Amino acid sequence: MSRQRFILIGVLFFHSVNTYMDRACIASAIDEIKRDLGITGQMMGLVLGIFAVGYALFQIPSGWIADRFGARKALTIVVSVWSMFTALTGAARNALQMLVLRFFFGMGEAGAFPGATQAFFRWLPARERGLAHGINFSGSRLGAAFSLFLMPWLIWKIGWRWTFVVNGVIGWIWAMVWLLWFRDNPKDNPRVNKEELDYIEEGRVSDFTSTIKASFAQVFTSLNMSLAMAQYFASNVTFFISLSWLPNYIKNQWPDDPHAIYYSAVPLIFAAFANWIAGGMVTGLYKCGYHVGSRRLTAIMGFALGVIGLLLATQTKNLDFLTTDRAQIYWFVFCFGLATFGVDMTLSPSWAFCNDIGGKSSGAVSGAMNMVGNIGAALSAITFPMFANANMFFVMAAGLNLAAIAAWCFMNPNRPSDAALSPAAAHRRFVAMLTTLVVATGGVIGTNIYISVRKKPAPPVETTETDQPVQQDADHGAPGDAGDGAGAEDKDSN
């Protein structure tokens, strides 16, 4: 038997690495962007979150495109488009331009994982999808972690503007490779022999067939889909802090440690291991006959670890045995890493669940779940600076993870969708749910814009020739710090 489906997993692994290198790049450039564009911390939160808004809103259309036209065309187009906007980010001259570019970057990247999900459905038997999703998402975490080391160095060498250009070029190279190698149907790839093709076709039909014949609107408005979206919202609220505010938060909390910012890569490495372990659990339990439990048990275990890690992180400044800054930062990074490990254990079962209930509509179904998840990511980045203390945010995130555990107790791919629901009624439900999500998200974002435009960034403090500028506006920092000044490092340490 040939092994071309494993090459597919490898190609999409690097695709995942690329997506998160592009996303995490801006986290390493926060201070430089704020300084050069003269924007406040709250506006920077909006810049970080607006990507997730564009990303969320175009999940369903991008998933539908992947289902309708195939992953080959879909991923070639979306990777090329978002790479263009990644490169153009380096040309932004003010906050408005940055907001527009990051929004369109999010729109372009919306098709990344729904397209990959559709490719997995067409190329992989059901028993292998859990591990494939785990490997795929581990690439995103490793890409983000790698970026936290590579991007500061690249910014130091060529500046933050050209760093975005380099990331865009990498995406265009991947798109070219994908277009030349991948075919939507494995039988059209001459390197797939008959033995492998028979193996794929035999195992591609899922054991969960009760909902696959339902329309997308019926699946979208089903209890399964509502619960899947709710739990994915919770996981993204926790995880997106790793890609947005965590490097800046750690640097400002422990300003005396010149290497503090690099510790923010640890939770992402934890997350990569979580995806491998969870993917293996989903695949192993499925092969043992625990088809529903392979998804449910893995996800519940992950969210439980997320709750524990977040609550322990809130005690960083309160535990008597943490007597030094180094001990405190180690404790916080481990605890937040445990939380990130936990919520990332839920990815493989979540996306495998979308394959279970979506079938040939896996792209649109997974896009719907990812849409709501990234609304959570957007609200996470936007609201984090609004909390008076970061511990309040962590407690809130822990509460959402508890709710997600409850959701997984009722998620069951064997539960049929409401097939008796008329197309008109399903359409009305679909529109109502989508409108509610958009209005709620728009309200939070609009409030943040209103607050941000009323605030002006504080002018930099005058310094001597040997001192570096330090900004004193507390609005520029993350919750729980004293602003950029509390976390400022000299240029050499950057």
Say which residues have a Cβ less than 8 Å from residue 193's Cβ, sequence separation at least 6.
1, 2
pLDDT tens digits, residue range 410-432? 998 887 655 555 667 766 766 77
Pick 490 or 92 by higher pLDDT: 92
274 pLDDT band, cuts 50/70/90, is very high
Going from the C-alpha of 328 to that of each of 314, 321, 331, 345, the distances in angstroms are: 11, 9, 5, 26
Pick 492 or 409 by higher pLDDT: 409
489 pLDDT band, cuts 50/70/90, is very low
Query: Looking at the predicted structure, is the pLDDT value of residue 461 above 90?
Result: no
pLDDT tens digits, residue range 92-140? 888 888 899 999 998 888 888 888 888 888 888 877 888 888 898 888 8
Over residues 291-309, mean pLDDT? 94
Does this model's pTM top 0.85? My answer is no
Please spell the DSSP secondary structure of 444-458, one letter per residue: HHHHHHHHHHT--PP
**pLDDT at 190 (0 to 100):** 87
Query: Looking at the predicted structure, is the pLDDT value of residue 467 above 50?
Result: no
pLDDT tens digits, residue range 430-444? 677 667 766 766 666
Which of these, 239, 298, 299, lies nearest to 270 by C-alpha position?
239
**pLDDT at 94 (0 to 100):** 87
Which of these, 239, 195, 217, 202, lies nearest to 2 by C-alpha position?
195
397 pLDDT band, cuts 50/70/90, is very high
pLDDT tens digits, residue range 14-25? 998 988 787 778
**pLDDT at 170 (0 to 100):** 92
- Which structural domains are found in the chain, ordered by start? 4-485 (1.20.1250.20)
Share of the chain above pLDDT 90, in %: 25
27 pLDDT band, cuts 50/70/90, is confident
Say which residues have a Cβ less than 8 Å from residue 277's Cβ, sequence separation at least 6.
134, 345
**pLDDT at 302 (0 to 100):** 96
Query: Looking at the predicted structure, is the pLDDT value of residue 466 above 60?
Result: no
Residues in the chain: 494
